[in-house]
Structures are given as C-alpha cells and as structure tokens.
Amino acid sequence: MTTSSEGKSSVTAVPASSNMRLAKRLRRWLRRDPSLFFMPALLIVSLAITVAVHPQFSDFDLQSLAMGALPLAFAAAAQTLVVISGGIDLSIGSVMAVTNVLAASAMEKASFEQSLLLAVAVLVAGAVIGALNGLIVIISRIPDVVATLTTGFIWGGVALVILEKPGGGAPQEFLNLGTGTLFTPWLPNALVLLVVAVCVIWIPLRRSKLGLQLYAIGSDRIAAFRSGVNIDRTRFGAYIFSGLFSAVGGLGLTMTTGIGAPLAGVYYTLSGLAAVVVGGVSLAGGRGGMLGPLMAAFVLTLIPTDLIFLNIDPNFGQVIQGTLIVVIVMIGGFMDMERNRK
C-alpha cells in the first residue's frame, strides 16, 4: 500500500552538503550558459590553428588581431545587451559609423587633451542616439527588427551627411590609446581598452537593478510586468546602453583605423549579430553574458587573418563567417530538437 505522501508533488529542495556544493554550482553554471565552456575552447582552438599556420606569430600579430577585433567586439557587446533584454538592434553598425565620423571630423585638428574631451562628448552622443532609437522603437510600436533596420538606414544617412567620404583624423596620442602596447609587448592597448570599457560599463550594470530588469523582460515579459518592472523604461535603458557601446566601438574604429568611414556600418551590424549567435547568447533573451560574444568576435576576426596567412583569398573570410553562422545555428537547432524529442 502506497503512502499518501507520494501523491503530493515535491515542493521542497534538499539542501546540498558543502562537498557537493561546488560541483553542483559548476554544473548549474554550465547548464545555464553552455557557451561558458564552448567559447573559450573555440577561441583556444582558433588561436592554436593560427599559431600552427603562422609560427612566427609575434606580439605585433597579437596587436593587429586585437585592433581588428576591437570594433567588432564592441558591436557584439552592444548587441548582446539588447538581445538579453529580448530585443534586437539592427542599427548598431550605423551608430558606430556616425560616432566614428563625428570623432574623426571633430578631432582632426585637435590636441590630445581636446580629443579626450571630444571622446567623452562622442560617448554622450552615442547614448543620445541610442535613446532616440529606443524612443522610436517604443513609441512607434513597430517590431524592433523593422524599426531598428529603418533607423539604421537613417543613421547611415546621417553619417554620410557628416562625412561624405572617408577622411578626418585624430591626434597621434589619441590613436595610440588603441594601438601599440603601453605595458608589455604582449598586452596590446586595444585589448586593455576592451577589457576596461566592458568592465566599467557592463559589470556595474549587470549587478544593478536595471541589469536584473533587462534579464527579466528578456526572459518573461508578463512575469516581469507583474513583478513591477516598467517594461518600456527598461527597453529604453537597453537601447541607451547599446548606443553607448556602439559609440565606444566608433571611437575604437577611429583609433584603429585613424579615420572616419561613413559606410563601415552594415558590416558591423551583421557581424556583431553573428558574434552574439556564435557566442552562445540565445536570441530569445533572458540568458547569457558578455564573455561568449566577445570571444566570438576574436574568433570571427581570426578567420580572415588565418586565411591571409594561408595565402587564401581573404574574401573567403566572409564566406566562412556566413557559413560558420549557418552551420553553428543549424547544429544548435538540431541539438535543441534532439533535446526536445519527447
């Protein structure tokens, strides 16, 4: 005779003993964010392939890699933020272009001190642009895919208004902030810049209430609403930060290329999105972190680099990037299906 307690559903969880706690935590972490394991592995593999292909991989090569990946990494960061909140931003590249040409045209004849001030102004401009994006998306009630596709188009036009053709410049000391190596030869400035920017912006945000709200509305909008979250205000915040990261990316472009290019935008929007997908952040929102997409940005940048080392047409790079996205999402979709077989 079975006891009636079996009819009850289990409502309590057995507390883990301290021995099991670490293993449990690790397993839980991995289950929540599988990219935590996959991405570092992919990055290491890509680096290994690069070094294998090009054994003379020097600190200069590392510098080039970091400089090449820097703008893409920021584009990926901006996109990750919006994706976590359950949305998407197809205007990131254009905002990068606008801030890039703004900086390059304003700093052309400026001193180093002035350029720093201008950089801050550009960051503010980026946040403002992001806020405008957010306002448009929210007030127009157009689905964010279409809305940001269109605002991206508009911002592209704005970039062209500011600078018709690639040009402009910045003082050498400013450019050195993103190029070269300040500390040791094997630590490129670009890498330092990336780490500092992400830590300064993302880490406090993630710990704050707004950060929690971002994850909440991405995970379950209705539950978030009923828990008292102001959905519109949170989405607005997501776009502001996306604009901020895009502006950092635009400044990064200025530093690493030395000029302003109004047409650079489209590439970074799509590649940034690719880095997010490859980096394991679910487009459904509510889950994931920055690390995966940032590493993916480096992996995606390594691809054309390796091709050059292998003397293969670097244009294949885009083919490989596109194929990589396609293959990864198809495998991901396949694995999801297997998991949900029942």
Partner 1 sequence: MGLPISMSEATFLLEARDVAKRFDSVVALKAASLQVRPGEVHGLMGSNGAGKSTLVKIITGVFPADGGQIFIKSAVRSFRSPAEARRAGIVSVYQDPALVPDLTVSQNMRLAGAPVEAVRKWLAKLGVTRLDFSLLVRDLPDPTLRLIDLARALAWEPAVLLLDEITASLPADLSEQIYGMVKHWRDRGNAVIFISHRMAEVSALCDRATVLRDGVTAGVTERAHGSEERIVALMLGAETARAVASVPSTRTSRSRPADAQPALEVRGLRCSPQVNDVSLKLYPGEVLGVAALEGQGQEELFNCIAGSRRYDEGAIFAHGKELRLRHPADAIASGIVLVPANRLLALLQQRPIPENIALPAFGGIRNWGPIRMRTERKRVESAIGRLQIDTRAGSELRRLSGGNQQKVVIARWLASGFDILLCFDPTRGIDIGTKRQIYALVREIAAEGSAVLLFTSELPEIALACDRAIVLFGGRVVAEMPVSEADEATLLRSAHGLAPSVQGSP
Partner 2 sequence: MTEPAKPVFSRLGAAVTGGGLLSLLRTRTIVALIILLFALVAGIELTRPGTVNALWASNMLLFAAPLGIVAAGQTLVMLTGGIDLSVASVATASAYLMATHSGLGVAPAIFYGLGVGFVVGIINGIGVALLRVQPLVMTLGTGLMTEGLLVVYSQKKMAEAPRVPQFIEDLGAGKFLGGIPNDLIVWVPIAIILIFVLRRTGYGRLIYAVGDNSKACSLAGIRVWRILLVNYVTCGLLAAAAGLIIVGGTDSAELRLAEVYLLPSVAAVIIGGTSIFGGRGGYSGTIIGALILTVLNSILTLLDVPESVRQILYGAIILVLAAAYTRLTD
Point out which residues bind partner 1 (CB under 8 A): 1-4, 6-16, 28, 32, 209, 212-213, 215-216, 218-220, 222-230, 286-287, 341-342
Token code pair at residue 97: 């272009």
Query: Of 139, 199, 200, 223, which lies in the binding site for partner 2, with binding defined by CB under 8 A?
Result: 139
262/226 Cα distance (integer angstroms): 43
List Cβ neighbours of 230 (8 Å cut-off, separation of 6 or more).
none
* Residue in 87, 126, 134, 156 binding partner 2, rule: CB under 8 A: 156
Q: Buried (b) or exposed (e) across 84-115, using 16+ Cβ within 10 A?
A: bbbbbbbbbbbbbbbbbbbbbbbbeebeeeeb
Contact between 313 and partner 2 by CB under 8 A: the answer reads yes
Measured from the CB atom, the residue of 79 and 234 that comes closer to partner 2 is 79
Report the residue from 140, 172, 227, 230 that binds partner 2 according to the rule CB under 8 A: 140
Select 15 or 55, whichever has its Cβ closest to partner 1: 15
Tell me which of 121, 135, 142, 212 binds partner 2, using CB under 8 A.
142
Among partner 1, partner 2, none, the one that 2 touches (CB under a kind-dependent 5 to 8 A) is partner 1
Does 40 participate in binding partner 2 (rule CB under 8 A)?
A: no
Rounded-to-10 torsion of CA 186, 189, 190, 193 = 130
CA angle 218, 221, 227 (to 5 degrees): 115
- Residue 280 and residue 218: Cα distance in Å, rounded? 15
- Is residue 246 within 8 A of residue 297, CB to CB? The reply is no
How far is residue 296's CA from residue 78's CA, in Å, rounded to a whole number? 14
**Contact region with partner 2 (CB under 8 A), list: 21-29, 103-111, 152-160, 242-250:** 152-160
User: Contact 69/61 with Cβ under 8 angstroms?
Assistant: no
Q: In this chain, which of 10, 228, 336, 341 binds partner 2, going by CB under 8 A?
A: 336
> Pick from partner 2, partner 1, none: which does 223 bind, CB < 5 to 8 A by kind?
partner 1
Asked if 167 touches partner 2 (CB under 8 A), the answer is no
Assess contact for 29 and 36: CB atoms under 8 A: yes
Smaller CB separation from partner 2, 47 or 128: 128
Q: Is 153 in the site for partner 2 (CB under 8 A)?
A: yes
Residue 44, helix vs strand vs coil: helix
Q: Which of partner 1, partner 2, none does residue 153 bind (CB under 5 to 8 Å by kind)?
A: partner 2
Question: Taking CB within 5 to 8 Å according to partner kind, which of partner 1, partner 2, none is near residue 36?
Answer: none
- The answer to whether the CB of 251 falls within 8 A of the CB of 73 is no
In 3-state terms, what secondary structure has residue 167? strand
Kindly give the residue spans of alpha helices, DSSP state H, lying in the chain: 18-32, 35-53, 59-84, 92-107, 112-140, 144-162, 172-176, 189-207, 209-219, 221-226, 231-257, 265-278, 291-309, 316-339
Smallest gap, in angstroms, from Cβ of residue 131 to partner 1?
22
Q: Which is nearer to partner 2, 140 or 230 (CB)?
A: 140
112 vs 316 by CB, closer to partner 2: 316
Smaller CB distance to partner 2: residue 146 or 196? 146
Binding partner of 209, given partner 2, partner 1, none, CB within 5-8 angstroms per partner class: partner 1
Q: What whole-number distance in Å separates Cα of residue 137 and Cα of residue 156?
A: 17
Question: How many residues touch partner 2 (CB under 8 A)?
Answer: 47
Contact positions vs partner 2 (CB under 8 A): 88, 136, 139-143, 145-147, 149-151, 153-154, 156-161, 164, 270, 273-274, 277, 283, 313, 315-326, 329-330, 332-334, 336-337
